[in-house]
Amino acid sequence: MDFTLKIWRQENQKAKGRFETYKIKDISPDCSFLEMLDILNESLVNKLSHPVCFDNDCREGICGMCGLYINGRPHGPDDAVTTCQLHMRKFTDGETITIEPWRAKPFPVIRDLVVDRTALDKMIQEGGYISVTSGGVPDGNAIPIPKHKADQAMDSASCIGCGACIAACKNASAMLFVGAKVTQLALLPQGKPEAAIRVQKMVAKMDELGFGNCTNTYACEAECPKEIKRSNISRMNLEFILAKIVSEETI
Protein backbone atom coordinates (compact mmCIF):
# COMPACT_ATOMS: atom_id res chain seq x y z
CA MET A 1 0.00 0.00 0.00
CA ASP A 2 1.16 3.56 -0.68
CA PHE A 3 0.45 6.56 1.52
CA THR A 4 1.03 10.30 1.74
CA LEU A 5 1.82 11.30 5.30
CA LYS A 6 1.31 14.80 6.68
CA ILE A 7 3.24 14.85 9.92
CA TRP A 8 3.58 17.57 12.56
CA ARG A 9 7.25 18.51 13.02
CA GLN A 10 8.39 20.75 15.85
CA GLU A 11 12.01 20.95 17.09
CA ASN A 12 11.15 21.73 20.68
CA GLN A 13 8.50 23.23 22.91
CA LYS A 14 9.33 26.81 21.95
CA ALA A 15 9.88 26.28 18.23
CA LYS A 16 7.15 26.94 15.72
CA GLY A 17 5.70 23.72 14.36
CA ARG A 18 4.67 22.86 10.81
CA PHE A 19 3.29 19.98 8.76
CA GLU A 20 5.73 18.12 6.54
CA THR A 21 4.65 15.79 3.77
CA TYR A 22 6.26 12.42 3.11
CA LYS A 23 5.48 9.70 0.58
CA ILE A 24 5.75 6.10 1.64
CA LYS A 25 5.42 3.06 -0.64
CA ASP A 26 4.95 -0.72 -0.54
CA ILE A 27 3.61 -0.99 2.99
CA SER A 28 2.09 -4.34 3.93
CA PRO A 29 -1.51 -4.15 5.18
CA ASP A 30 -0.39 -6.32 8.12
CA CYS A 31 2.17 -3.71 9.14
CA SER A 32 1.29 -1.84 12.31
CA PHE A 33 0.99 1.95 12.23
CA LEU A 34 4.15 2.40 14.30
CA GLU A 35 6.06 -0.08 12.14
CA MET A 36 5.05 2.05 9.17
CA LEU A 37 6.59 5.04 10.99
CA ASP A 38 9.71 2.94 11.71
CA ILE A 39 10.04 2.36 7.96
CA LEU A 40 9.63 6.10 7.33
CA ASN A 41 12.25 6.89 9.97
CA GLU A 42 14.73 4.43 8.56
CA SER A 43 14.35 6.09 5.17
CA LEU A 44 14.85 9.52 6.78
CA VAL A 45 18.06 8.34 8.45
CA ASN A 46 19.22 6.99 5.09
CA LYS A 47 18.60 10.46 3.67
CA LEU A 48 20.62 11.94 6.55
CA SER A 49 17.68 13.78 8.06
CA HIS A 50 16.27 13.66 11.55
CA PRO A 51 13.67 10.94 12.13
CA VAL A 52 10.20 11.78 13.42
CA CYS A 53 10.07 11.51 17.23
CA PHE A 54 7.09 9.64 18.61
CA ASP A 55 6.55 7.98 21.98
CA ASN A 56 6.09 4.23 22.05
CA ASP A 57 7.16 1.33 24.19
CA CYS A 58 5.31 -1.96 24.72
CA ARG A 59 3.69 -2.05 21.28
CA GLU A 60 0.97 -4.31 22.60
CA GLY A 61 -1.57 -1.80 23.80
CA ILE A 62 -0.97 -1.78 27.53
CA CYS A 63 1.76 0.72 28.54
CA GLY A 64 -0.13 3.79 27.28
CA MET A 65 3.06 5.37 25.95
CA CYS A 66 2.01 5.72 22.32
CA GLY A 67 -0.65 8.18 21.32
CA LEU A 68 -1.02 9.89 17.99
CA TYR A 69 -3.84 11.99 16.65
CA ILE A 70 -4.48 10.33 13.29
CA ASN A 71 -6.88 11.80 10.77
CA GLY A 72 -8.58 13.75 13.53
CA ARG A 73 -9.00 10.83 15.93
CA PRO A 74 -6.88 9.84 18.92
CA HIS A 75 -5.34 6.44 18.11
CA GLY A 76 -6.80 6.60 14.60
CA PRO A 77 -9.61 4.95 12.70
CA ASP A 78 -10.23 1.78 14.69
CA ASP A 79 -12.17 1.21 17.89
CA ALA A 80 -10.75 0.05 21.20
CA VAL A 81 -7.11 0.15 20.14
CA THR A 82 -4.01 2.13 20.96
CA THR A 83 -1.92 3.56 18.12
CA CYS A 84 0.50 0.62 18.34
CA GLN A 85 -2.36 -1.84 17.78
CA LEU A 86 -3.64 0.01 14.74
CA HIS A 87 -2.78 -1.75 11.49
CA MET A 88 -2.45 -0.34 7.99
CA ARG A 89 -5.28 -2.58 6.77
CA LYS A 90 -7.59 -0.02 8.37
CA PHE A 91 -6.56 2.56 5.74
CA THR A 92 -7.15 2.62 2.00
CA ASP A 93 -4.38 2.44 -0.54
CA GLY A 94 -3.23 5.89 -1.66
CA GLU A 95 -4.79 7.65 1.33
CA THR A 96 -3.34 10.83 2.84
CA ILE A 97 -2.86 10.36 6.56
CA THR A 98 -2.53 13.35 8.88
CA ILE A 99 -0.56 12.69 12.06
CA GLU A 100 -0.53 15.16 14.95
CA PRO A 101 0.50 15.07 18.60
CA TRP A 102 -2.11 15.11 21.40
CA ARG A 103 -3.50 18.64 21.45
CA ALA A 104 -4.20 19.89 24.98
CA LYS A 105 -2.77 22.80 26.93
CA PRO A 106 -1.62 20.67 29.88
CA PHE A 107 0.30 18.43 27.41
CA PRO A 108 3.01 20.68 25.89
CA VAL A 109 4.85 19.35 22.83
CA ILE A 110 8.38 18.15 23.59
CA ARG A 111 9.39 17.33 20.04
CA ASP A 112 7.41 16.41 16.90
CA LEU A 113 4.72 14.00 18.08
CA VAL A 114 5.99 13.64 21.64
CA VAL A 115 4.09 15.48 24.36
CA ASP A 116 4.67 15.91 28.09
CA ARG A 117 2.00 13.97 29.99
CA THR A 118 3.45 14.26 33.48
CA ALA A 119 0.26 16.10 34.45
CA LEU A 120 -1.40 12.68 34.63
CA ASP A 121 1.07 11.51 37.26
CA LYS A 122 0.59 14.73 39.21
CA MET A 123 -3.14 14.06 39.53
CA ILE A 124 -2.50 10.49 40.75
CA GLN A 125 0.01 11.83 43.28
CA GLU A 126 -2.78 13.89 44.86
CA GLY A 127 -4.50 10.79 46.15
CA GLY A 128 -5.01 8.20 43.44
CA TYR A 129 -3.92 5.53 45.90
CA ILE A 130 -4.68 3.87 49.20
CA SER A 131 -2.17 5.06 51.79
CA VAL A 132 -0.73 1.73 52.87
CA THR A 133 2.96 1.13 53.31
CA SER A 134 4.74 -2.19 52.77
CA GLY A 135 3.84 -4.85 55.31
CA GLY A 136 1.40 -4.88 58.20
CA VAL A 137 -1.72 -5.44 56.10
CA PRO A 138 -4.48 -8.01 56.68
CA ASP A 139 -4.74 -11.34 54.84
CA GLY A 140 -5.93 -11.01 51.25
CA ASN A 141 -9.11 -12.95 52.00
CA ALA A 142 -9.90 -11.06 55.21
CA ILE A 143 -12.17 -8.64 53.37
CA PRO A 144 -14.54 -10.41 50.98
CA ILE A 145 -15.46 -8.18 48.04
CA PRO A 146 -18.58 -8.99 46.02
CA LYS A 147 -17.55 -10.32 42.63
CA HIS A 148 -19.52 -7.72 40.67
CA LYS A 149 -17.84 -4.90 42.60
CA ALA A 150 -14.38 -6.37 42.04
CA ASP A 151 -15.20 -6.77 38.33
CA GLN A 152 -16.47 -3.19 38.08
CA ALA A 153 -13.37 -1.91 39.87
CA MET A 154 -11.25 -3.88 37.41
CA ASP A 155 -13.02 -2.24 34.47
CA SER A 156 -12.15 1.19 35.86
CA ALA A 157 -8.64 0.10 36.77
CA SER A 158 -7.87 -0.95 33.21
CA CYS A 159 -7.11 2.70 32.26
CA ILE A 160 -3.66 2.85 30.66
CA GLY A 161 -3.08 6.59 31.16
CA CYS A 162 -2.51 7.33 27.46
CA GLY A 163 -4.44 10.59 27.51
CA ALA A 164 -6.66 9.85 24.49
CA CYS A 165 -9.73 10.95 26.48
CA ILE A 166 -8.15 14.34 27.01
CA ALA A 167 -6.99 14.66 23.41
CA ALA A 168 -10.48 13.77 22.19
CA CYS A 169 -12.25 16.33 24.37
CA LYS A 170 -12.69 19.85 23.03
CA ASN A 171 -12.30 21.11 26.62
CA ALA A 172 -9.28 18.87 27.24
CA SER A 173 -11.12 17.48 30.21
CA ALA A 174 -9.39 14.81 32.29
CA MET A 175 -12.59 13.71 34.00
CA LEU A 176 -12.64 10.22 32.50
CA PHE A 177 -9.05 9.61 33.62
CA VAL A 178 -9.62 10.93 37.14
CA GLY A 179 -13.10 9.41 37.31
CA ALA A 180 -11.75 5.95 36.54
CA LYS A 181 -9.28 6.07 39.43
CA VAL A 182 -11.78 7.60 41.85
CA THR A 183 -14.36 4.96 40.90
CA GLN A 184 -11.98 2.01 41.19
CA LEU A 185 -11.00 2.97 44.72
CA ALA A 186 -14.47 4.09 45.81
CA LEU A 187 -15.94 0.72 44.85
CA LEU A 188 -13.56 -1.21 47.08
CA PRO A 189 -13.88 -1.33 50.86
CA GLN A 190 -10.12 -0.69 51.19
CA GLY A 191 -10.53 2.63 49.39
CA LYS A 192 -13.41 3.93 51.50
CA PRO A 193 -11.52 5.58 54.39
CA GLU A 194 -9.84 8.09 52.05
CA ALA A 195 -12.61 8.37 49.45
CA ALA A 196 -13.88 11.84 50.42
CA ILE A 197 -10.45 13.45 50.57
CA ARG A 198 -9.23 11.67 47.47
CA VAL A 199 -11.93 12.95 45.13
CA GLN A 200 -11.64 16.51 46.37
CA LYS A 201 -7.88 16.64 46.03
CA MET A 202 -7.76 15.00 42.62
CA VAL A 203 -10.45 17.29 41.24
CA ALA A 204 -8.70 20.36 42.63
CA LYS A 205 -5.43 19.29 41.02
CA MET A 206 -7.18 18.60 37.73
CA ASP A 207 -8.52 22.15 37.70
CA GLU A 208 -5.19 23.63 38.77
CA LEU A 209 -3.33 21.91 35.92
CA GLY A 210 -5.63 23.47 33.37
CA PHE A 211 -7.82 20.54 32.33
CA GLY A 212 -11.29 21.66 31.32
CA ASN A 213 -14.73 20.60 32.42
CA CYS A 214 -16.81 17.78 30.93
CA THR A 215 -18.61 18.77 27.70
CA ASN A 216 -21.08 15.89 27.89
CA THR A 217 -20.23 14.92 24.31
CA TYR A 218 -18.66 11.63 25.46
CA ALA A 219 -15.86 11.78 22.92
CA CYS A 220 -13.64 10.46 25.73
CA GLU A 221 -15.64 7.25 26.02
CA ALA A 222 -15.80 6.83 22.25
CA GLU A 223 -12.02 7.12 21.86
CA CYS A 224 -10.83 5.28 24.98
CA PRO A 225 -8.74 2.32 23.81
CA LYS A 226 -9.79 0.41 26.91
CA GLU A 227 -13.49 1.29 26.56
CA ILE A 228 -13.73 2.96 29.96
CA LYS A 229 -17.33 4.05 30.47
CA ARG A 230 -18.54 7.59 31.02
CA SER A 231 -20.36 6.29 34.12
CA ASN A 232 -16.96 6.73 35.79
CA ILE A 233 -17.46 10.49 35.41
CA SER A 234 -20.93 10.28 36.96
CA ARG A 235 -19.49 8.26 39.82
CA MET A 236 -16.77 10.85 40.37
CA ASN A 237 -19.35 13.66 40.39
CA LEU A 238 -21.44 11.72 42.89
CA GLU A 239 -18.42 11.07 45.11
CA PHE A 240 -17.49 14.74 44.86
CA ILE A 241 -20.94 15.97 45.83
CA LEU A 242 -21.12 13.49 48.72
CA ALA A 243 -17.68 14.57 49.85
CA LYS A 244 -18.63 18.23 49.80
CA ILE A 245 -22.06 17.82 51.42
CA VAL A 246 -21.88 14.80 53.69
CA SER A 247 -18.24 14.33 54.53
CA GLU A 248 -16.72 16.01 57.51
CA GLU A 249 -13.38 16.08 55.74
CA THR A 250 -12.78 18.91 53.34
CA ILE A 251 -9.64 20.19 51.77
Partner 1 sequence: MSTLDSKIPEGQLSEKWTRYKSSQKLVNPANKRKLDIIVVGTGLAGSSAAASLGALGFNVKIFCISDSPRRAHSIAAQGGINAAKNYQNDGDSIERLFNDTIKGGDYRAREANVYRLAEVANSIIDQGVAQGIPFARDYAGLLDNRSFGGSQVSRTFYAKGQTGQQLLLGAYSALSKEIKAGTVKMYERREMMDLVVIDGQARGIITRNLQTGELERWSSHAVVMATGGYGNVYFLSTNAMECNGSAAVQCYHKGAMFANPCFVQIHPTCIPVKGDYQSKLTLMSESLRNDGRIWVPKNIEDAKAIREGKLNPTDLKEEDRDYYLERRYPAFGNLVPRDIASRAAKERCDAGYGVGAGFAVYLDFKTAIERLGRDKIQERYGNLFQMYEKIVDVDPYENPMMIYPAVHYTMGGLWVDYELQTTIPGLFATGEANFSDHGANRLGASALMQGLADGYFILPYTMQNFLADKIHQPRVSIETKEFDEAEKSVRAKLESIMAIKGEKTVDTLQRELGHIMWEYVGMGRNAEKLTKAIPMLADLRKEFWSNVRVTGDMNSMNPELAKALRLADHIELAEIMAKDALQREESCGGHYREEYVTDEGEARRDDKNFMFVGVWEYKGEEQEPIMHKEELNYEFINVQQRNYK
117 interacts with partner 1 by CB under 8 A: yes
Which of 14, 18, 25, 46 contacts partner 1 by CB under 8 A? 46
- Contact (Cβ atoms closer than 8 angstroms) between residue 27 and residue 64: no
Instruction: Say how many CA atoms lie within 13 Å of 83 toward its Cβ.
Output: 29
Given the rule CB under 8 A, which of 96-104, 141-149, 208-216, 228-236 is the region that contacts partner 1? 141-149
Interface with partner 1, residue 62, by CB under 8 A: yes
Q: Cβ of residue 60: shortest distance to partner 1, in angstroms?
A: 5
Stretch that binds partner 1, among 91-99, 109-117, 214-222, 236-244 (CB under 8 A): 109-117
The Cα-based distances of 186 to 6, 43, 53, 129, 147 in angstroms read 44, 50, 38, 11, 15
The DSSP annotation for 201-246 comes to: HHHHHHHHTT-B---SS-HHHHH-TT---THHHHHHHHHHHHHHHT
Q: CB-wise, 117 or 230, nearer to partner 1?
A: 117
Tell me the C-alpha to C-alpha distance, in Å, between residue 180 and each of 82, 140, 204: 18, 23, 16
Nearer to partner 1, 46 or 216 (CB): 46
Nearer residue to partner 1 within complex by CB, 57 or 93 = 57
Question: CB 42 → partner 1: shortest distance, Å?
Answer: 5
d(CA 9, CA 101): 9
Q: Binding of partner 1 at residue 140 (CB under 8 A)?
A: yes
CB of 179 to partner 1, least distance (A): 16
CB closer to partner 1 out of 120 and 228: 120
For the bound state, the minimum distance from the C-beta of residue 169 to partner 1, rounded and expressed in Å, comes to 20
Q: How far is the CB of 214 from partner 1 (least distance, A)?
A: 24
Q: Pairing mode, if any, of strands 69-70 and 73-74?
A: antiparallel
Interface with partner 1, residue 15, by CB under 8 A: no
Under rule CB under 8 A, which residues in 158-217 are in contact with partner 1?
Answer: 158, 160-161, 184-185, 188, 190-191
Close Cβ partners of 227 (under 8 Å, ≥ 6 residues apart):
80, 221
**199 vs 191: CA distance, rounded Å:** 11
